Amino acid sequence: MRNTIQEIISGAYSLAVGMKITICNLFRPTVTLHYPHESATMPARFRGHVELACDPETGKPKCVVCMACQRACPSGCISLDGQKSESGKGKVLTAYSLDFSLCSLCGLCVESCKFDALRFSKQYNLAFTRREECTFNLLERAQVKK
Amino acid sequence: MSLDVQNLDRETFVVNLGPQHPATHGVLRIKLTMDGEYIVDAEPVLGYIHRMHEKMGENRSYAKFLPNMGRMDYVAALFNSHGYVAAVERLAGITVPERAEFIRVITCELNRVASHLLWLGAYLIDLGGFTPMLYAFDDREMILDLLEAVTGARLTFCYFRFGGVANDVDENFVSGTRVFVARMRSRMPMYEAFVSKNIIFRKRCEGIGVISAETCRRYGATGPVIRGSGVAYDVRKAEPYSAYPRFQFNVAVSDLCDNMGRYRVRVDEIVESLRIIEQAIDQLPGGPVMAEKVPRSLKPPKGDCYFNVESARGSFGVRVVSDATENAYRLKLRSPCLSNLHLFRECSRGMLLPDALAMLGSLDLVIPDIDR
Amino acid sequence: MRMEFVLEIARVVLYVVGILAFVGFNASYLVLLERKGSARFQLRHGPTEVGPFGLIQPVADAVKLLCKQILIPKNVDVILFFMAPILVLLPAILCMVTIPFGATIAARNFNLGLLMVFAFAAFNVFGILIGGWASHNKYANLAAARVVAQNIAYEIPTLLIVVAVVMVTGTFNLQEIVAQQAGGFWRWNILRLDLNPLQPVAFLMYFICLLAETNRAPFDMVEAESELVAGAYTEYSGMTFGVFFMAEYTNIVLGCCVATVLFLGGWQCPFGLVPGPHWFLLKMYALCFTVIWVRWSFPRVQFYNLLNLSWKILIPVSLANIILTALMLKVF
Amino acid sequence: MSLSAIKQKLAEIAVRSADAASPVPLAVDTAHAVRGTDLDVTVPPERVTDAARVLDEAAFMLESITGVDFIAEGQMEVVYDYTFTASGERVAIRARVPRAKPELPTVCGIHPGANWHERETHDFFGIVFTGHPDLIPLLLPEDADFHPLRKDYGA
C-alpha cells in the first residue's frame, strides 16, 4: 500500500517534470532549417556528385584523360573519352559522362585523380523525373558554369 | 504478464508483422502466431533487403569495396569500415600511423554516440513517445555536421582507408568536438529526467523483455544486449584494437537483463564515449594520417584472418580470406544484429505484443545489417 | 404565436449551424494547433506554407482528404464499415447541444443535461468497435477489443467522479452547475475544498479519464501506431478516416467543455469581472492545449497498466472521493 | 577451462596431418594480433559437434559460421568462430567437406544460435547441415535453388 502511494506520487512527479521540459522547449527557438526558404551550407569536403575542375587561366578542364577515375569507380558510372591534343603532347578531354543513377558518391574517383581535375560539387538537392536525366555530361556542365 | 505457451490448447491466429510495420524499423517481417495479444511464436523472416555484400567483396578490388561498408549498418557506418579496413590491414601487415588511429577512434566514438541517440529516439517512438526522438536528433545533428565536415558525408561515410584515413582533421573539428562533448554532457540530465525517470517509460522497461546472460551466450548476442544482461563483454576491452588501449573508460554493464538494462547500458555508453573522445582529442598526436607505401592495388598475402570491432550494436567481425590477388577470395561479414535478433523468437514466447515490440526495439536492430 | 414559431425555427437553425460550425472549426483548427504545438514542443516549425503561419492548412487538409479515394478492402462488412465513423462523430455533436457557452448561449437547457452528455459520450466506443470489427483486419480487431476494455474501465471512474460533483451541486443541469460557481475562482468546484478536500485530485482524475475516454496519448490504444499500425483505423482512408479524426477532436472538445463546466466554473470569470463565453472558450482551449501538451510529452502506457491504473487506482480513489463527499455533506 | 586445456581436448578431435610417420594434430596456436584467433583447429567434418561441445562446456560463444569454397581443391571449408566473453580469446574451428557432397552435422543442438548461421551458410554455399531442424533459405528467396557464394556461380 505504502509502496503504491509512493509510486503514484513519484510517478506523478516524473510526469510533471516531463511536461515541464516540453513546455520549456515550446519557448525555445526552433533548430530546424526552413528548407525551401533557407538551405544548409555544405562543408568544404561535402561529397556531392563530381564535376570537372577547370584551369583558371585557360578555362579548359584540367583532365588529362588518364582514366584513373574510371578504373577507381566501384560502380562503373564514369565514362570518358579523349583524343590526342593538337600540340601532340598529351590528350584532350572530349567527353565525360557520369551516370548519377549508379553513382554511390563514395569519392574514390576524386581521390584517384592526380591532377586535381575532379572535384565535388556542392549540389545536394538533385531530383529527376526521367532516368536519362541522371546521366550528366560533365564537360558541358563545366562549360556552362564558366 | 506472460502466457504459458507450452500448455496451450486454445485457438491461435497468425499475424504478419511487417515487412512494412512501423515497429520493425525497415523491412523485417515477423510471422507471429498469437493467442489474443499473447505471442505464442514469433518467427522472423529475413532477407527483404539482402544485397549479397559478401559476393560483391569477392568480385571487386579491396579498395572498391570500401563504399559498401557504409551501406550495411548505415546508422553506424564507421564501425563497419573500421572492421573491414583493420582486417585487411592485419592480413596485409600494414601499420597505421598513430594520428590516424586516434582519428579513427574519435570518429568511431562520435558515430557510436550518434547511433545510440538515434536508437534512443527510435525506441521512444516504438514506445509511443515522439518528442524525445527530436531532441535526440537535435544532438545527433551536431555529430553529423562534425563528421560531414571531415568525411564529406552524413551517413555513408567511407572515410577509412587501408593504412589510415582519407583526410586529416582540422582545428575546427577538434574545437567543434570539444564543444559537442560539453554540450552532450549538459544534455544528459535532461534525458535522464525526461526519459529514464518517466514512470510510463519505466513501466514499459522494468522487468519487461528479460534476456538472461546464458541466452545471450547461446545465441551469440553481443554489444549492449549482452552487457545489459550483466556480462561485461566489450571487444574494445576483450581484444583491444586501434588506439583504445590508450584510453581510460569503463565498460557500461547492467545486470537488470531487461529493456531497462539495455537502455541503461546505451545511455551510460554515451557518457563513456564522450570520455574517450575527450581523452583522444587531448592526446591527439601529430604526424601523417596515411601509412607510407600502401600499394594502390592491394594484394595481401595468401591466408585468412579475423578482425572484430565493437560496433554500436555489438561485435562486428570480418573474416578475410586472401589468395594474393587484387580481390578478396572470401569476405565474411559477421553482423551483430543477426545474432541479436535470433534470440527474439525464444524470448518473446508468451509475451504480450506491445511488450515484445518494446523488447524488439531494445535490441537496436538495423535491418540492412542483418540482411547484408 | 406565429412569430414565436418562426423565431423558434430560426433559433434551432442557428444553433444547428452554429454547433456544426463550432465542431468543424475545432476539429480542423485543433489539428493545426496539434501540429503547430507538437512542432514547437519539438523545436520544429510545423506547417508554414499554406497561408500565413500555415493558417489555411486545415482547409488544404480537408480538400486533400475529400479528394482521396475511399478504399474498401475485400471481405469488409460495407454497411458497418461506413456506419462506424458516423457513429463516432454523431453522438459527440449531439452532446454539444447541452453545453452552456454563456449565460444565455446554450442550444437546450436540459435538466438532465449532464446525464445526456455521458449517455451519448458512451456511444463512441460502439463506433470504434464496429469499425475495427468490420474492417476485417487483425490489427483493427485487436485495437477494437482493446478500446472496449479501455472505455469500460474508464467510464466507471469518470461517472464516479461526476457523481461526487453532482452530490455537491445537487443538479444535473449544466447551466445551474455553472451558475453555482459564480463569484471568483475560489468558488469553482475544483477549489471547493470546504465541500471536499479531494476536489483537485478529482479534477486530475477526471482529466486522466478524459484522455483515456477520448483515446488520446498516452492512452491511444485505438491507434497505437508502433504496435497495431493504425489500430482500428487501419483500413480507413480518405474522408472515412477524416471523420474518425474529426470525431476524435470533437470528443476532446466535448470532454474539455464538460470539465470546464463541472470544475472550472464554465463561463464565470475567475475574479469577478464580466462573465461570458470568452471565459468559457479560454478555459476550454487551455484544457485542449494541455491534452496536446500531454500527448507530446509521454510514451504510450502498456495496455495492462492502463487497465491497472483504472481498476486499481482511479476507481478506488474515486469511490473514496464519493464517500468523503457524502460525509462532508452530512457533517457540515 | 584454460585455453591450453581446451587446446588439448580439441587436439584429440583434430585432423591428423597427412604425414603418417608423425601424426601431429592440426591444432595451431596463432597469434591473436596476426590472425585474429588464438587457436585454429581443423577437425574432421563429422566431429564438429564434439568440438562444439568442448567449447560450449568452456562457455565459449559461437559468433559466426561461414563457408569458403576452395574450388581448385574440390573442397569447401566451414569455419566456426568462437569467442570467450570473459577474456576475449578466440578459437576458430575448421572442417573441410568435399565439394561434391558437402555435408556435415549440425551444431544447432549445442548452440541454438547456430541455427541461422547454418541456414545462411546453406543459402550461400549449399552446404547441408544434417539434422538441422529447419534448413530453409534465410536471406535468399524461399524458392532459391542457387548458391551465390560458390565460385562457379556466375554473378
List pLDDT tens digits, range A9-22. Answer: 888 888 888 888 88
What average pLDDT does range D52-73 have in this prediction? 86
Residues of chain D with Cβ-Cβ distance to B233 below 8 Å are 85-86, 88
C-alpha closest to that of B131 among A40, C218, C248: C218
- Quickly tell me which residue has 534525458 as its cell: B191
* pLDDT tier at B116, thresholds 50, 70, 90: very high
Give the chain D residue whose CA is nearest to the CA of B343: D113
The pLDDT value given to residue B6: 62
* pLDDT tier at B267, thresholds 50, 70, 90: very high
On the question of pLDDT at D17 being above 70, the answer is no
Contact yes or no for B183/C281 (Cβ under 8 A): no
Which grid cell sits at B249?
573508460
D37 touches chain B (CB under 8 A): yes
On the question of pLDDT at B27 being above 80, the answer is yes
The pLDDT value given to residue D31: 67
The pLDDT value given to residue D22: 46
What average pLDDT does range B185-190 have in this prediction? 90
* pLDDT tier at D155, thresholds 50, 70, 90: low
* pLDDT tier at D20, thresholds 50, 70, 90: very low
What average pLDDT does range B125-153 have in this prediction? 88
**Which is more confidently placed, B255 or C192?**
B255
The region of weakest confidence among B272-276, B305-309, B367-371, C214-218 is C214-218
**Which is more confidently placed, A53 or B356?**
B356
**Is there a single domain that holds both residue C148 and residue C221?**
yes
B218 touches chain D (CB under 8 A): yes
Reduce the DSSP state of residue C117 to 3 states and report it.
helix
Q: Where do the structural domains in chain B lie, given as residue ranges? A: 13-48+96-299+337-371
Give the structural domain span for C168. 76-331
Please provide residue B311's backbone torsions phi and psi, each rounded to the nearest 5 degrees. Answer: -80, 175
Last residue of a domain, one of C9, C34, C67: C67
Contact yes or no for B235/B217 (Cβ under 8 A): no
Is the link from the previous residue into B368 a cis peptide, with omega within 30 of 0?
no
Last residue of a domain, one of C47, C67, C87: C67
The region of weakest confidence among B87-101, B303-317, C206-220, C222-236 is C222-236
On the question of pLDDT at D27 being above 60, the answer is no
Average pLDDT, chain A: 82
Is the link from the previous residue into C85 a cis peptide, with omega within 30 of 0?
no
Q: Cα–Cα distance between D124 and D65 in angstroms, integer?
A: 12
B49 touches chain D (CB under 8 A): no
Q: Which residues pair with A54 in a beta bridge?
A: A61
Sign of torsion over alpha carbons B225, B228, B231, B234: positive
| Subunit contact B128:C43, Cβ cutoff 8 A | no
* pLDDT tier at B3, thresholds 50, 70, 90: low
Taking residue C6's Cβ as centre, other Cβ atoms within 10 Å add up to: 9
Number of A to B CB contacts under 8 A, please give it.
70
Q: Cα–Cα distance between A145 and A133 in angstroms, integer?
A: 18
**In the Cβ-directed half-sphere of C93, how many Cα atoms lie within 13 Å?**
22
Taking residue C19's Cβ as centre, other Cβ atoms within 10 Å add up to: 17
**Is there a single domain that holds both residue C120 and residue C259?**
yes
Give the chain A residue whose CA is nearest to the CA of C205: A12
On the question of pLDDT at B295 being above 80, the answer is no
Contact yes or no for B347/B47 (Cβ under 8 A): no
ipTM: 0.86
Contact yes or no for C203/C141 (Cβ under 8 A): no
**Which residue from B13, B37, B128 is facing C226, i.e. has the nearest CB?**
B128
Which residue ranges in chain C fall short of pLDDT 70?
Answer: 1, 107, 272
| Subunit contact B204:C224, Cβ cutoff 8 A | no
Q: Cα–Cα distance between C87 and C27 in angstroms, integer?
A: 16
* pLDDT tier at D23, thresholds 50, 70, 90: very low
Residues of chain C with Cβ-Cβ distance to B130 below 8 Å are 38, 42, 296
| Subunit contact C304:B352, Cβ cutoff 8 A | yes
The region of weakest confidence among A136-145, B54-63, C214-223 is A136-145
C-alpha closest to that of B138 among B200, B184, B199, B71: B184
- Quickly tell me which residue has 601509412 as its cell: B291
| Subunit contact A26:C37, Cβ cutoff 8 A | yes
Cβ contacts of B359 within 8 Å, gap of 6 or more: B208, B209, B211, B259, B344, B347, B348, B351
Domain count, chain C: 2
**Which residue from D64, D86, D140 is facing B332, i.e. has the nearest CB?**
D64
The region of weakest confidence among A83-92, B68-77, B253-262, C256-265 is A83-92
Q: Tell me which of C34, C298, C301, C308 to substitute to probe the interface with B (most B C-beta atoms closer than 10 Å).
A: C298
- What are the pLDDT digits (tens) for A74-129? 888 888 887 777 776 777 777 888 888 888 888 888 888 888 888 888 887 788 88
Which grid cell sits at B245?
588501449
On the question of pLDDT at D102 being above 70, the answer is yes
| Subunit contact A25:C42, Cβ cutoff 8 A | yes
The pLDDT value given to residue A144: 67
Give the chain B residue whose CA is nearest to the CA of C143: B37
Average pLDDT, chain D: 80
Buried-exposed string D133-144: b where 16+ CB fall within 10 A, e elsewhere: eebebbbbeeee
| Subunit contact A30:C44, Cβ cutoff 8 A | yes
Q: Using a pLDDT cut of 70, give the percent of chain B over it.
A: 98
Chains C and D touch (3+ CB pairs under 8 A): no
Residues of chain A with Cβ-Cβ distance to C201 below 8 Å are none
B13-48+96-299+337-371: CATH number: 1.10.645.10
C311 touches chain A (CB under 8 A): no
**Is there a single domain that holds both residue C183 and residue C109?**
yes
On the question of pLDDT at B47 being above 80, the answer is yes
Which grid cell sits at A11?
510517478
Distance (Å) from the alpha carbon of B198 to chain A's nearest alpha carbon: 5
* pLDDT tier at B270, thresholds 50, 70, 90: very high
Contact yes or no for B344/B365 (Cβ under 8 A): no
Residues of chain B with Cβ-Cβ distance to D68 below 8 Å are 304, 321, 329-330
On the question of pLDDT at B265 being above 60, the answer is yes
What average pLDDT does range B57-65 have in this prediction? 86
Chain B: list its partners (3+ Cβ pairs within 8 Å).
Answer: A, C, D
Q: Which residues pair with B310 in a beta bridge?
A: B315
Reduce the DSSP state of residue B318 to 3 states and report it.
strand
What average pLDDT does range B253-282 have in this prediction? 90
The pLDDT value given to residue B26: 76
**Position B252: which residue type?**
A
The region of weakest confidence among A53-62, A114-123, B22-31, D69-78 is A53-62
On the question of pLDDT at A145 being above 80, the answer is no
Last residue of a domain, one of C15, C42, C67: C67
What average pLDDT does range D36-46 have in this prediction? 81
The pLDDT value given to residue C313: 86
The pLDDT value given to residue C23: 85
